[in-house]
Amino acid sequence: MEVRPLSTRRDLQEFLRLPWKVYANDPNWVPPLLSDIKFRLDSRKNPFFEHGQAESFIAVEDGETVGRITAIIDDNYNSFHGEKVGFFGFFECIQQYEAAQALFDRAQAWCKQRGMGILRGPTNLTMNDECAFLLEGFDSSPVMMMTYNPCYYIEFAARYGFRKAKDLYAFLKQREETPERILRLVERIKARERLTIRSFDMKNFQRDVQEIMDIYNSAWEKNWGFVPLTKKEIEVLAKKLKPLAVPELVIFAEVDERPVGVVLTLPDYNQVLKRLNGRLGPLQLLEFFLYRKRINGIRSILFGVKKEYRNRGIEAVLYYATEQAAMKLGYQWCELSWNLEDNDLINRFDESVGGRLYKKYRIVEMEI
């Protein structure tokens, strides 16, 4: 077994293509866009590398690639939290523990050599990207920007010595008509709080992106694992999401014309990515625009209210505004994710509106 860093174009291709071997017979797997993974790992293009470092490795046995991993250090994260944490991500491995062990060994050594005291993951590359091993809910495909993996990954991690750092929850909400009494309650809250609701304004794209990030950085500041996005990271994310966003599903709550809360919901583009097989050439783009109209579900990816405006009913107003917009557009279900397992406020809220806890994810860690 040899674990080596990516040093050639062929190594990179082996790294990128390994999931097609791991998930060859899994109908729930959604192939990632190869161009997206290449961008994330490119230190010349991805603004993450202005405050972080990473190195990717493949495990090779008898000339065959059997696993991959990326070792990561995010200086912004460690500075913000006052920690010395190294991360691992992009982990994939055939069902062979020795390969997983060799990969974890290499990531641990890489982080330890750079002064880290904890190894945590998976994150691809940060908690703002896909993160965590799927723990429960292997019977369905993941929605966009959520992870999926074989069930043996979590077993390999535990066998290696990783322990639970934090579990993440995903709730599923089916389409149903909003009761009249709830609508009346929402109107009372809006009047009491001098609250207005508006959708994202594509004509003022940069302004509204900044409003979202301001709320995000305020509302999530004390959350476990949070790290603020830099200006360049915001710009890259906005460019990525601009052609995917549905303005009616990006909704602001404003008090005296000042945004105090936001919910960002996106169609489940994974339903289309399944058809593209990792490519995005002219034919795949045509297929993308053809099949995006058939997407029947959405993911509420960001839902936050500034701290000083919480527990005043604004969350309910945002939720029901989103529900009304989604039903008008014809969507049949919504995933509310991801939530920290100990965020009782948001978990109880998701249950109160009819959400069912249907998937769990786990981030693991160990001292090194």
Residues 210-224: tens digit of each pLDDT? 999 999 988 888 789
Residues 290-312: tens digit of each pLDDT? 899 999 999 999 999 998 898 89
Rounded to the nearest integer, the mean pLDDT of the chain is 95
What residues does 305 pair with on adjacent strands?
A: 261
Q: What pLDDT is attached to residue 218?
A: 85
- In angstroms, the Cα distances linking 119 to 109, 110, 115, 195, 197 are 10, 10, 11, 44, 42
Q: What pLDDT is attached to residue 82?
A: 95
Residues 58-80: tens digit of each pLDDT? 999 999 999 999 999 999 999 99
Please, what is the angle between helix 97-113 and helix 152-160, to 10°? Answer: 50
What residues does 67 pair with on adjacent strands?
A: 59, 93
Residues 302-338: tens digit of each pLDDT? 999 998 898 899 999 999 999 999 999 999 999 999 9
Q: What pLDDT is attached to residue 35?
A: 95
How far is residue 331's CA from residue 360's CA, in Å, rounded to a whole number?
Answer: 23
Residue tagged 């790290």 (tokens)? 227
Residue 202 has pLDDT above 80, yes or no: yes
Q: Which two tokens stand for residue 334?
A: 């919504």
Compute and round to an integer the Cα radius of gyration of the chain. Answer: 21
Q: Which two tokens stand for residue 244?
A: 């995917």
Residue 151 has pLDDT above 90, yes or no: yes
Work out whether strand 333-340 and strand 297-305 pair parallel, antiparallel, or are unpaired: parallel
Share of the chain above pLDDT 90, in %: 84
What residues does 169 pair with on adjacent strands?
A: 339, 360
pTM for the full model? 0.95
